[in-house]
């Protein structure tokens, strides 16, 4: 312990303030609660509340809430909002809701509304919950208002709409969209449409999707496309995949590929895969392969791999082999392993072994292990033993 203590203190002296957390835990483990408190509070002043949380948790498990509470009070005095939230939890669990709210309000004043959120969600006092939710909303957290509103949707839709309106008035686009859905469910289609537009103006991309669907239903494909593009510009990557599909179906192959490339550049592999399937389903399997290979050339072979699996599943062994060979020719071990599996499945054990040794020579000895397992599973024990040696 002395060696660890010395090393951690040396780390602190060299600017590694995270070692303060380790020192606090070390002191707590040997029963030096005062030393643990000192190091934990120093850690808080360096921006970390980990030591306070972990030391307090140890005390709560060992001695109940009082030992933990004393440390949380000290941490709260030096501005640890997490400690204030924990104090609110302890007071709530002890049945002292008034003091719990006091701590929650203090945390919220410092920008941490988690405790207010918990109190609002757990209290049986509905008016009190609404008061807490509005307080949190005034601090910039409208999530509690939305959560409360959802609780009332089935039993008190008017109250739910009022809560959604309060959140929407504070710039919460999701709340405005939920309010629009309530309007639609009550039969107020025009009011719902207005609310969806308001939510979209606040940046809610789900509202943009709903508007796009309504434009489609009305036969205005261009307006729907504009709304999907707007969603994409607000960071909704799946909207790019939808645009790629729509343009492919409309015969705009160049526009479809442009949207698919944009989606791929943002990591939306699934969206690109849907586009490739659409191209294949449209009677152009060669075009689907070309696009998947283009993605692979740009260092993302995932879509091509999906396409190969689809070929195998559909019984197109020749198509799967062609694509595996294309990958193997580019030095991709996944292509060699795929060929290995195809050959082994077809009973061409000599070719399968050749591919296994080729992959092993490329630095992937797991190919031999794969072949060994395939032969064991097929009951070819002698061949499996030979490979093992």
**pLDDT by residue (tens digit) across 228-255?**
999 999 999 889 888 888 888 888 888 8
Distance CA 263, CA 267 (A): 7
Position 175 scores a pLDDT of 95
Rounded to whole angstroms, how far apart are CA atoms 311 and 322? Answer: 10
Cβ neighbours of residue 35 closer than 8 Å, sequence gap 6 or more: 23, 24, 27
For residues 123 and 132, is the Cβ–Cβ distance under 8 A? Answer: yes
Say if residues 145 and 137 touch (Cβ distance below 8 Å): yes
Cβ-based neighbour number of residue 349 at 10 Å: 16
The whole-number pLDDT of residue 268 equals 73
DSSP 218: T
Residue 330: the pLDDT is: 79
Burial letters for 313-323: b for 16+ Cβ neighbours within 10 Å, e otherwise? eeeeeebbbeb
What is the reported pLDDT for 21? 65
Tell me, what's the pLDDT at 259?
A: 85
Distance CA 358, CA 346 (A): 19
Distance (Å, rounded) from C-alpha 333 to C-alpha 97? 62
If phi > 0 it is left, if psi is from -120 to 50 it is alpha, else beta; for residue 268 that is beta
Predicted TM-score (pTM) of this structure: 0.63
Residues 279-304: tens digit of each pLDDT: 877 787 888 778 777 777 766 677 77
Distance CA 208, CA 199 (A): 8
Report the greatest alpha carbon distance in the chain: 78
Low-confidence ranges of the chain (pLDDT < 50): 380-381, 384-385, 387-389
pLDDT of residue 247: 87
Task: Please give the Cα distance from 225 to 266 (Å, whole number).
Answer: 19
């Amino acid at each position: 312990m002395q060696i660890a203590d010395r090393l951690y203190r040396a780390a602190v002296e060299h600017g590694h303030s995270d070692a303060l957390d380790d020192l606090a835990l070390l002191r707590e483990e040997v029963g030096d609660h005062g030393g643990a408190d000192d190091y934990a509070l120093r850690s808080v002043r360096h921006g970390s509340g980990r030591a306070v949380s972990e030391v307090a948790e140890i005390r709560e498990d060992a001695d109940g809430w009082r030992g933990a509470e004393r440390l949380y009070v000290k941490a709260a005095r030096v501005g640890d909002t997490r400690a204030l939230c924990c104090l609110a939890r302890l007071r709530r669990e002890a049945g002292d809701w008034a003091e719990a709210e006091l701590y929650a309000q203090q945390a919220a004043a410092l920008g941490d509304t988690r405790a207010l959120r918990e109190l609002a969600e757990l209290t049986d006092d509905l008016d009190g919950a609404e008061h807490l939710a509005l307080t949190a909303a005034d601090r910039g957290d409208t999530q509690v208002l939305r959560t409360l509103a959802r609780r009332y949707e089935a039993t008190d839709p008017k109250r739910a709409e009022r809560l959604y309106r309060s959140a929407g008035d504070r710039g919460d686009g999701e709340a405005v969209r939920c309010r629009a859905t309530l309007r639609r469910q009550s039969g107020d289609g025009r009011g719902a449409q207005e609310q969806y537009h308001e939510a979209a103006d606040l940046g809610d991309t789900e509202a943009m999707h709903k508007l796009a669907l309504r434009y489609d239903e009305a036969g205005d494909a261009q307006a729907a496309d504009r709304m999907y593009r707007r969603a994409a510009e607000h960071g909704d990557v799946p909207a790019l995949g939808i645009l790629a599909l729509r343009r492919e179906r409309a015969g705009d192959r160049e526009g479809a590929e442009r949207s698919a490339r944009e989606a791929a550049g943002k990591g939306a592999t699934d969206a690109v895969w849907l586009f490739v399937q659409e191209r294949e389903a449209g009677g152009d399997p060669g075009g689907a392969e070309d696009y998947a290979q283009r993605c692979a050339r740009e260092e993302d072979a995932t879509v091509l791999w999906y396409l190969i699996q689809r070929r195998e599943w559909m019984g197109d062994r020749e198509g799967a082999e062609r694509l595996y060979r294309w990958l193997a020719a580019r030095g991709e071990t996944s292509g060699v392993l795929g060929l290995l599996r195809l050959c082994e499945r077809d009973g061409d054990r000599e070719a399968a072994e050749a591919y296994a040794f080729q992959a092993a020579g490329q630095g992937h000895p797991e190919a031999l292990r794969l072949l060994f397992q395939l032969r064991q599973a097929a009951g070819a024990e002698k061949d499996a033993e030979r490979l093992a040696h």
